[in-house]
Structure 1
Amino acid sequence: MVVPNLCAASFAMLRQIEPIIMLEQLGNTLFETALRMVARDRCVNATYPGLSREDSQQKAMTDFFMIYSLIIRFVPILPSLILGKLSDRGWRRAPIVVPLSGYLLSRLVLLVVVICSLPLTFMFGAAVLYGLSGGFSTFWPGVMTLVSLRTTATDRSKVLMRVELLYGLAGLVGSLVSGHLFQLYGSSLGHGTILLIVSTLLHLLCLILSIVLLQVKQVCQEEPEENCHLLSSSFSSSTSSSSDSLVAPAPARINLVNLALLFAAAFLYDFAVGGAIEILGSFVLKSPLSWSATQVGYGNAAGCGIFFTSFIGVIVFRRCVSEFTMILIGMLSFASGIFVMTFVKTTSMFYIARLLNLFALIPMPTIRSLVTQQVPASSCGITLTSLQLTLKVAGLAYIPTYTKIYQRTLDWLPGFVFLLSSITTVLGMIPISIAGCRTARKARCERIQGD
């Protein structure tokens, strides 16, 4: 009896979205380390008038990643909207399966580039393939939609953060081994080949699981929390001993002002975080840090460790503060850590800065949780896709901005872009504070009317 029950439990687990998330992030982490190191090796002989050899390498690398990142953020816009609409019409697996196909193709292209010693510019074509499939801007809203539909509004922020935790743990494992796998190669193959083969196989397994086994669940529509909105969710965990007593029916009209404030906060925070991370990969490869592939993997692992600390933060904070306050705590954590990163000169200082980012991943899943509570389940997919596209617009803005600022400040303060991120994060705290005050005021009015 034990063996059949264990097999049944394992099969049921494989039908959930979580194994796909973890395998995808594991393969994606291996790919990102490989791409970063391959780009460094291909740009080592770059020369620009008036620049030293190291600064020329940094300029060539950042220019490549600027174009590559812009492609993978611009091309998916239309496919994301189409797949988001398909999701809301009942094709819930489409935003999962189609992007995973693009992931697999782009990983195969880099593998061919390494094996056949093709120019790095071939990766621009891989970025187009990735974008046409919808990319991350379709995959992640698809994941968030499936998870949101199977949870109640009261528990949604915790469950979404748990998904982020699993995503981060997979990234942690991938980061720790990626640098070592990059060093492995056969007699006729170059560095990174084995790493990319493993990454490709993991993405192939993800695609098979999503097509064959993935199950779509939805919480019972009769639960009172199902259409719970921003008001009741934000305060049920912190101001009431019984969540059901605060659950109100869905309002006739969505609170567009609060929704706009949430989108604005997400835009500013993604602008700050995305811009900093975009440059951080190149920053650690230059002096005085001059990291190896193994050190790059360990640095990425430190970043993935933040998923765990942020999850613990959500579990603890949701018992005593509102979701708006949790977002502010996370933003403050990132702002302080990235401010210290401005002045990093040694590897130990780098890890101290990352340590201050303990709760930096709390804001985005919490914002997504609040956004999903503003709309009925039938519009959840397109709303989350719209939010993700808003973040794509932020990417189209911060990628060239941060790249050019970084290139122009290499001589006097390479970490100036991190200072800019810290300031932008503080600005992002303003719309969240306004939305929190508006919601608190409305909650007090409704409690008075109820009494």
Structure 2
Amino acid sequence: MATSSWRRSAFRVFGRVEPLVVLEQLGTSLFDTALLMVVKDRCATANATNPGTSTRVSGEDDQQKAMSDFYMVNNLIAQLTPILPALLLAKAGDRGWRRAPVVVPLCGYLLSSVALLQVVLLRLPIQVMFGAAALLGISGGFCAYWPGVMTLSSLGSNAENRSQVMMRVELMYGAAGLLGSLLSGHVFLLYSSSVGHGTVLLCVCTLLHLLSLIHATVLLKVKQISSEPEESSALIPRSPNSVPAETSTRKNTVNVVLLFSAAILYGSSVGGAVEILGVFVMKEPLHWNAAQVGYGNAAGFVIFLTSFLGAIAFRRCVSDVTLILIGMLSFASGIYFMSFVTATYMFYLARSLSLFGLIPLPTIRSLLSQQVPTSLCGFTLTALQLALRFAALAYIPAFTKLYQGTLGWFPGFVFTISSMLAVLGMIPISVMGCRWSRPRCFEEAGTTSETRHADEES
């Protein structure tokens, strides 16, 4: 009897989305470290054979430009190709195929890790990874996978605890990334006489992506949502004193636009900074090795834990809008300090200032899901992810060229620009906060006057 109960509990746990997130993110964190180190090695080799590199400084700058150019092209491909596939997968998910936006991208992740493994084993050109990035994009990539995960999480929760549920998924994502990053640098250095650096790491990465695909296909349980009228299936409850439908639609539309604007500005800030950060730590005066790269990535994933704990603590006394503002301010201060980092300990100090930097986007997704009916939840979250992808088409080349242009006099200038974008993102959220509280004030005032009028009549 006890064994049967234990088995049911185990199946219930493994049927949730969190184990899938852990497996996938463990594989991705290993892949990210491996890709960065392989790109560094290939760019260093190409730089050493280039007769035009006469000094160490000019050689290092050329290597930095080559690495940043590779990541610019690779990330642009990864941002552009998923747009149409992600929309199609989101539509399929909203029509009942809830696993599709999760399973299909996981196939792309598996093929990408296999491609990088072949690049290392067969000494193929690093440009082969451009094709792997396109293949990942055609499968939907992170643009389809993460909204699919968040949709499954939101459908399994109610409006009151949805932010907490989404933050818990983010926590598991960050914990897995922390563990994978801590191990990745050391595992990358493992090799035998027949294989080189990174082979063992990429074999483990491929195995983890395969396990995540099997989990999503076989074990993942999808909660069935009973069909309801559109009025009652809205994720945000209507008040008893409901306003006319036209006013309610207009108000929700404006809120969605404000949330999208804030997410795009803040996403551009974070994405632009992270785009350069991996290359930045490879140059002097930091000049990190594989193990230090893993530790640096782990420091970034610690922010998932601190953001989750901060959201739990602050939610007791502040609203979701205030939570978003706290997270944006935290990231803006941390990334501004990163502009002046010249030693490894300063890097970790800058990271510590961004303790709550991952609160905004999950909370924005939670607020967005409360502005639309259930039937549009997956499509709306995917549309937000696509908006962030379109923004990436602008900020990736802009941040890359800005970094290359300021290498000689202020390499950290891009982080100052990132901080300014984060501060700008606080403006639409502040407007959203004012709009969010105003109807409640009017509703309370209306309720008070009606009570008073009823008392006078009696």
Using structure 2 for the length normalisation, give the TM-score: 0.92
Query: 2: CA distance between counterparts of 1:248 and 1:286?
Result: 59
Q: Does the 8 A contact of 1:180 with 1:294 survive in 2?
A: yes
Check if 1:183 corresponds to 2:203. no
Deviations, residues 268-317 of structure 1 (Å, cap 9, x unaligned): 00000000000000000100000010000000000000000000111111
Cα separation, partners in 2 of 1:154 and 1:312, compared to 1, 3 Å: same
Identity %: 59
- AA in 1 matched with 2:34: A
- AA in 2 matched with 1:7: R
Q: Does the 8 A contact of 1:99 with 1:133 survive in 2?
A: yes
Deviations, residues 12-43 of structure 1 (Å, cap 9, x unaligned): 21111111111000000000000000000000
Q: Does the 8 A contact of 1:183 with 1:192 survive in 2?
A: yes
Q: When the two structures are aligned, how many residues end up with a matched partner? A: 438
Deviations, residues 202-232 of structure 1 (Å, cap 9, x unaligned): 000111111111111156778x996342x98
Aligned with residue 288 of structure 2, among 286, 291, 294: 291
Moved beyond 3 Å, runs of 4+ = 47-51, 218-222, 245-252
Q: Does the 8 A contact of 2:286 with 2:344 survive in 1?
A: yes
Cα separation, partners in 2 of 1:248 and 1:5, compared to 1, 3 Å: farther
Query: 1: CA distance between counterparts of 2:12 and 2:422?
Result: 41
Check if 1:39 corresponds to 2:36. no
Query: 2: CA distance between counterparts of 1:401 and 1:331?
Result: 21
**2:405 corresponds to:** 408
Check if 1:326 corresponds to 2:332. no
What is the deviation of 1:253? 2.1
What is the deviation of 1:7? 2.2
Query: 2: CA distance between counterparts of 1:375 and 1:247?
Result: 19
Deviations, residues 297-341 of structure 1 (Å, cap 9, x unaligned): 000000000000000111111111111000000000000000000
Check if 1:10 corresponds to 2:47. no
What is the deviation of 1:438? 1.1
What is the deviation of 1:3? 2.9
**2:174 corresponds to:** 168
- AA in 2 matched with 1:422: S
**1:114 corresponds to:** 120
**2:417 corresponds to:** 420
Q: Does the 8 A contact of 2:22 with 2:173 survive in 1?
A: yes
What is the deviation of 1:146? 0.5
- AA in 2 matched with 1:27: G
Give the unaligned 5+ runs of structure 2.
Answer: 449-458
What is the RMSD computed on CA atoms of the aligned residues? 2.0
Query: 2: CA distance between counterparts of 1:258 and 1:287?
Result: 45
Q: Does the 8 A contact of 1:76 with 1:135 survive in 2?
A: yes
**1:240 corresponds to:** none
**1:430 corresponds to:** 427
What is the deviation of 1:156? 0.5
Using structure 1 for the length normalisation, give the TM-score: 0.93
Check if 1:93 corresponds to 2:99. yes
**Paired residues for 1:375-390 under 5 Å:** 375-390=372-387
Check if 1:227 corresponds to 2:234. yes
Q: Does the 8 A contact of 1:330 with 1:359 survive in 2?
A: yes
**1:303 corresponds to:** 300
What is the deviation of 1:2? 3.0
- AA in 1 matched with 2:113: R
Check if 1:374 corresponds to 2:371. yes
**Paired residues for 1:52-201 under 5 Å:** 52-201=58-207
